[in-house]
Amino acid sequence: MSTVLVTGGAGFIGSHTTLLLLEAGFEVVVVDNLSNSSIESLHRVEALTGKSITFYQTDIRDKAGLTEIFAKHKVDSVIHFAGLKAVGESNEIPLEYYDQNIYGTVNLLKVMESAGCYRMVFSSSATVYGDPASVPITEDFPTSATNPYGRTKLFIEEIMKDLSASNDRWNMVLLRYFNPIGAHKSGQIGEDPQGIPNNLMPFISQVAVGKREKLSIFGNDYPTPDGTGVRDYIHVVDLSDAHVKAVQKIGALGGISTFNLGTGNGYSVLQMVETFIKETGKSVPYEIVERRPGDIAECWADASLAKDKLGWTAVHGLSEMIEDTWRWQSQNPDGFK
């Protein structure tokens, strides 16, 4: 049985991917320092699948710790989610982002190389497209970054390309996520942001559950149909499924490949609020406020490359994404606590 090491496997996307990997028959080793997650997520994944996970509470910057883990397990591929991800925070503490995301990844790659493990799937982001000149976005669009978080994604992509060019034993897949939302159908695992959510969907659901008074909509004067920002929201289970396919196909793909993971549909903030209200029957008070600095008007994916090369396509529509988010939020108003 093939073993996948998942860094950041206790987090939002990592826990869903771990669940799907177990269901697909992989052995899973999770490495997570639990800085932004709870071990409870993995206990629930074990309960849902009836399978066990090998867990190490280890930081990806800990070379000795990682070396020991790779010595204990014959790891075939790594899926690398671990890292910091808050754009605003990255402007305040950039060194922490460079240390954890970039140094952490270099450290992980070095340990993998020493252990003879040459396969890595990496969590990149649509943020690497900066402010795109047009939509939908294909993988060959120019890349740029406007904040330290985005720069870490861009730099890590470049580091992985250099490594792949240096030695053709490396097989790498860069997955550029659009906007992941939703939760597993069981309502047992989902997104559990610490403090005030930065992203739209967790904010809406915390307003609906009564934890926050109202949503602030960041601007209604964008050049979009209703003036609010348009994004490509994708169900976290679809996103996770793409990781399973990437691990299954990484050897056949060879070298380094880059894929957009989105649905190809864009929804505005107001459409998200209206659909949420319709699907859940809850009220979501909101007010229009200033634009958030750094936000772009619209962004959605052309995901046809992932369809061609990975045989992957998103299957969940917006209603399901919202229903599943709400099941998780309403059953777990305080997340995993």
List, by residue number, the catalytic residues. Answer: 149
Name which of ligand NAD, ligand UD1, none residue 37 binds, using a CB cut-off of 5 to 8 Å depending on partner kind: ligand NAD
Among residues 269, 273, 306, 314, the one that binds ligand UD1 under rule CB under 6 A:
269
Q: Chain centroid to CA 191: how far?
A: 11
With H, G, I as helix, E, B as strand and everything else as coil, classify residue 191. coil
Among residues 73, 249, 282, 292, the one that binds ligand UD1 under rule CB under 6 A:
292
Name which of ligand UD1, ligand NAD, none residue 292 binds, using a CB cut-off of 5 to 8 Å depending on partner kind: ligand UD1
- For ligand UD1, give the closer residue by CB, 33 or 125: 125
Q: What x/- string results for residues 206 through 225 when contact with ligand UD1 is judged by CB under 6 A?
A: ---------xxxx-------
Distances in Å between the alpha carbon of 113 and those of 66, 116, 161, 230, 255? 12, 5, 15, 41, 15
Q: Chain centroid to CA 285: how far?
A: 28
- For ligand UD1, give the closer residue by CB, 65 or 294: 294
Name which of ligand NAD, ligand UD1, none residue 200 binds, using a CB cut-off of 5 to 8 Å depending on partner kind: ligand UD1
Q: How far apart (Å, rounded) are the C-alpha atoms in residues 200 and 215?
A: 9
Interaction of residue 295 with ligand UD1, rule CB under 6 A: yes
Which residues are 213's β-sheet partners?
Answer: none
- For ligand UD1, give the closer residue by CB, 114 or 216: 216
Q: How far apart (Å, rounded) are the C-alpha atoms in residues 200 and 23?
A: 30
- For ligand NAD, give the closer residue by CB, 89 or 227: 89
The phi and psi torsions of 107 (rounded to 5 degrees) equal: -60, -45
Total count of residues recorded for the chain = 337
With H, G, I as helix, E, B as strand and everything else as coil, classify residue 105. helix
Please report, as ranges, the residues that interact with ligand UD1 according to CB under 6 A: 87, 125-127, 150, 179, 198-200, 203, 215-218, 229, 231, 269, 292, 294-295
